Structure 1
Amino acid sequence: MKRIAIVGTGFGGYACARQLERRLRPGEAEIVLITPKDYTLYLPLLPQVAAGVLQPRSIVTPLHAGLKRSKLLPGVAMEVDLDARAVNVLKISGEPARVPFDVLVLAPGSMTRTFDIPGLKEHARGMKTLAEAVYLRDHSIAQLELAASTCDPEERAARCGFLVVGAGYSGVETAATLQLVTRRAMARFPQLDPGLLRWTLIDIAPAVMPELGPELGAAARDLLERRGVEVRLGTTLERITEDTAMLTDGTRLSTHTVIWTAGVTPRPVVSSLGTETVKGRLVVGADLQVPGCEGVFGLGDAAAVPDLTAEPGTPCPPTAQHAHRQARTAARNVLAALRGGPRHEYRHHDAGLVVDLGGSDAVARPFGIGLTGMAAQLVTRGYHLLTTPSSRSRLRVSGDWLLNMMAPDDLIRLDFLKDSPGTLEELEHMPITPRPRRISVTESVGSRP
């Protein structure tokens, strides 16, 4: 039996597997999913988990609920051996495995991009995983509690200072939602001057969320500034210490909280192919196949898929919208690779962006129409409900929104990650320590008939 190996179960990998399960004939091919998680995560709603509006389980879909014919290999794809047509995997137990394939779909997603900034590795936090969202919520509330417990004015100022680096989609939503959380939490501490609370959003770019267009980007910035978030553009982070952030314009900020959302980069397995990349993303054709590599496809954040609706040479942006739609084209072309037949090209017009700014505030640009305020919030939440991958998740998200309206969050710490430093390396990159024992393909994914 032929084998289809799918690396990653984010928007692209999960949707591709679902499409293949529906279209494959019985006994035609087996699907092996290589992923360290047993769920697919709806990333756009992570800031609402951090804000306590949504429960963590509401934005995940278990793989076993949506996929019935696929085999799960719980591990990280470390390397693709194109000559042997196999993927080398490190299982979550630390044991190695090797997965031969006839067709390969690479959709490993991305991780937060970092730079060689002193202190970044030791002190910065991210917003890319459930663990990071939960950690940031607890950490933010804990800083106010610690500020209230000290009489040292310098420590109070540092505890009440928060810095978000990156004024893109993730950074803006994170700053907007968590600023509301901390503003509400300040009311619990009469000994703290509300004026101590300071949120700063910085980016080297000249505009907030340029992909929204100048008018909506300016509207988002104005709303943040009216709430008290200081937006500083044309500057970025120079170095971090435990209680200080130095900016490239010479500004020194007292803070114990630096949230790093300055872009993403593909997972390391992409570079193991040795084929051409653009800014780390795998170069593929409009049919999603890696040039010169028959039966090897890439999509989502990890692939530079040509945007046939834009200027030549322009890749599709690394968004959930494109990854989900590319999965359909990938599934059709995987079947074409198995059965023989013409390949299809990916072509999709951008449907726009939605940005939830917390409460009743949002900005949105559905199909080129600019919206703000309550109308944008209705469109934003409607879009999320439509694109959440399962009916179970949609029901839970709707229920959480309704419950939050009727009984707002209690603003308590759960402390599930109280012993974690909360760094990017700890909660996002999650290194697995290899174990010396080697196992066979049969032990890891089952023998091939």
Structure 2
Amino acid sequence: MYTALRLNRLLRGGEATVTVVDPQGYMTYQPFLAEAAGGAIEPRHVVASLHRVLPGVRVLNGRITGVDHAARRAEFQPVQGPNQTLTYDILVMAAGSITRALPIPGLAENAIGFKTLAEAVHLRNHVLAQLAAAVSTDDVAVRRRALTFVVVGGGFAGVEALAEVKALAEDAIRYHEGIQAGDMRWVLVEATGRILPELDEDMGRWTAEALAKRGVEIRLHTRLTSAVDRHIVLSDGTAFDAGTLVWAAGGRANPLARESDLPVDEAGRITTTAFLAVDGVPDAFAAGDGAAVPDLTRPGHLCAPNAQHAVRQAKLLAHNIVRQLRGKPLKEYKHAYLGSVAGLGGHQGVAQVYRIKLRGFLGWLAHRVYHLACVPTFSHKARVLADWTLAFFFRREVIQLGALEQPGQDFRDAAKAA
């Protein structure tokens, strides 16, 4: 989206036609998925419509299933209708990443991913449904299972998801007689020896201590080995039932790259030069999570797969395309990592910007200021700010709308009965 937006501004009338292909038709601001799951932000305010943001750009809804760059052709599967072949002159591959799952028994059947807006909304509805189930039964085992929540992955996604959903559940139990905060069990599972590895070790340690004080069990050096029938088995020998299992253990490059004739590395990322041009391939560019971009600030390393790099790469990529069209030399991508911020719910957070480290309320405030500045479009900034303002004065909504995920079920049941 950012590449197309910048191209739209830089290109002269009639100089080129820009086409964007996307399965959803919108861009998700992923740092806000946790707050959407927790009910702090309206889900629609986390996404930006490509049709609205990119006037004058041809936006196609569907999937690219294969790329033959040598022939300048891409196979396109629209949301409806027969497949098409798209021809082009210059290719930009920015398909990002997908969830990195592992062959763990029961994972696919019982876990909830945390990569898309749909998954965030589903998680919110699921957690509220588990609370309703717990208060509606006298069976001790069923109740204990419904009130046990497990998150696998101690990175930003996992930690923020757990913190925001826990805050949601603690607000919701005010309206469920018979459930206390101590009745719920929250477990964070991380395979390495620390959480939030993107931050300095002392910041990760402070975050772990803060979560532990709020009743979160943190299992480091631990892996999920089985989730069959939602019976959780961990590598440290612990076993228990859990009604909710969230998988936030990172991502991997979109497999579309391997369905092309472009060069990829061992992780499936498209290999590029510092100019964001595909290595050794003319008229092809790549950026974001699915691209292996050299980090010129750390020789021998690649740019981390995060939004901070992706957005900046996208803008420079657009400039380099225009420079190539006009016969000018390309510019190298060089951006030192500014730092990271994370929200922990309950007006708590951590922030590390350059050498400045903020914890608690100041970390939470820095997290919100940073992301508000980065949200695309003024309209979305205003809506997010309004959501936060309302949340400051009123309790969050705790309505469970799981039926929206199967909107036709009631009608189908009635039709069968008829």
- Normalised to the residue count of structure 2, the TM-score between the two structures is 0.94
Aligned to 1:235: 222
Once residues 130 and 173 of structure 1 are traced to their aligned partners in structure 2, the CA distance between those partners, rounded to angstroms, is 15
Alignment of 1:177-196 (within 5 A): 177-196=164-183
Deviations 1:178-213 (A, max 9, x none): 111112222333323543200100111110111111
In 2, the alpha carbon distance for the partners of 1:113 and 1:125 equals 13
Is it true that 1:374 corresponds to 2:361 in the alignment? yes
**2:151 maps to 1:140:** no
Task: From the superposition, tell whether residues 416 and 294 of structure 1 become closer, same or farther in structure 2 (CA, over 3 Å).
Answer: farther
Counterpart of 2:270?
282
Shift of 1:67: 1.2
1:214-293 to structure 2, matched below 5 A, reads 214-274=201-261, 275-293=263-281
Could you report, residue by residue, the CA deviation over 1:74-95 in whole angstroms, capped at 9, with x for unpaired residues? 1111111122111111111263
> What is the aligned partner in structure 2 of residue 385 from structure 1?
372
One-letter code aligned to 1:291:
D
- Measured on the aligned residues, the alpha-carbon RMSD in Å equals 1.4
Q: Distance in 1 between matches of 2:235 and 2:81?
A: 41
Residue 428 of structure 1 is matched in structure 2 by none
Contact 1:353–1:366 (Cα < 8 Å) also in 2: yes
Letter in 2 for 1:208: I
Distance 1:216 1:225 in 2: 14
Relative contact order (C-alpha < 8 Å, sep 6+): which is higher?
1
**Aligned to 1:345, what secondary structure does the other structure show?**
coil
Q: In the aligned structure 2, how far is the partner of 1:279 from the partner of 1:402?
A: 42
Amino acid at match of 2:280: G
Secondary structure in structure 1 of the residue aligned to 2:60? strand
Deviations 1:125-170 (A, max 9, x none): 1111111111111100110111111111111111000000000000
Pair 1:47 & 2:34 matched: yes
Q: Distance in 2 between matches of 1:340 and 1:209?
A: 44
Is 1:20 the counterpart of 2:12? The answer is no
Q: Deviations over 1:237-267 (max 9, x none)?
A: 1011233111112111210211000010121
CA distance in 1, matches of 2:80, 2:215: 46
Task: Report sequence identity in percent.
Answer: 39
For normalisation by structure 1, the TM-score amounts to 0.88
Picking from 73, 82, 104, the partner of 1:117 is: 104
Q: What's 2:414 paired with?
A: none
Classify the secondary structure of the residue corresponding to 2:270: strand
Quick one: which of 93, 106, 111 aligns to 2:80?
93
CA distance in 2, matches of 1:62, 1:193: 41
Checking the alignment, whether the CA contact within 8 Å between 1:109 and 1:267 is kept in structure 2 is yes
Aligned mate of 2:386, from 399, 418, 422: 399
Single out whichever of 410-419 and 231-240 deviates more from structure 2. Answer: 410-419
Name the aligned partner's letter for residue 282 of structure 1.
Answer: I
Alpha-carbon distance in structure 2 between the residues aligned to 1:86 and 1:368: 47
Q: 1:166 to 1:417 in 2, by over 3 A?
A: farther
- Distance in 2 separating the partners of 1:55 and 1:115: 31
Equivalent-residue separation in structure 2 for 1:194 and 1:34 (angstroms): 46
**Distance (whole Å) between structure 2 residues aligned to residue 344 and residue 154 of structure 1:** 62
On the 8 A contact 1:245/1:253 being kept in 2, the answer is yes
Looking at structure 1, the residues matched to 277 and 14 of structure 2 have their Cα atoms a distance apart, in angstroms, of 24
Residue 60 (structure 2) pairs with residue 73 (structure 1) = yes
Distance 1:138 1:276 in 2: 38
Whole-Å separation in 2 of the counterparts to 1:82 and 1:161: 49
Shift of 1:61: 1.6
CA–CA separation in structure 1 for the residues paired with 2:403 and 2:131: 18
- 3-state secondary structure, aligned to 2:289: helix
| Deviation string, structure 1 residues 253-308 (Cα, Å, up to 9, x no partner) | 21021100001012111112241324222111111111121011110011011110
CA shift, 1:40, in A, is 1.4
- Contact 2:64-2:75 at 8 Å conserved across structures: yes
Q: Distance in 1 between matches of 2:300 and 2:79?
A: 38
Cα distance between partner residues in 2 of 1:115 and 1:388: 32
After the TM superposition, which of the residue ranges 60-69 and 128-137 deviates more from structure 2?
A: 60-69
Letter of the 1:178 counterpart: V
In structure 2, C-alpha distance between the alignment counterparts of 1:367 and 1:77, rounded to whole Å: 39
Change (3 A) 1:138 1:234: same
Q: Unpaired segments of 5 or more residues in structure 2?
A: 408-418
- Tell me if the contact between 1:103 and 1:337 (Cα under 8 Å) persists in the aligned partners: no
For 1:300, what is the secondary structure of its paired residue? coil
The question of whether the paired residues in 1 share the 8 Å contact of 2:37 and 2:121 is answered with yes
Partners of 1:15 and 1:328 within 8 A in 2: yes
TM superposition shift of 1:65: 2.5
CA contact (8 A) 2:272 2:291 kept: yes
1:316 partner SS: coil
Q: Which stretches of structure 1, 4 residues or longer, exceed 3 Å deviation after superposition?
A: 416-420
Amino acid at match of 2:218: V
Question: How far apart, CA to CA, are the structure 2 residues paired with 1:299 and 1:193?
Answer: 47
Closer, same or farther in 2 for the Cα pair 1:280/1:408, shift >3 Å? same
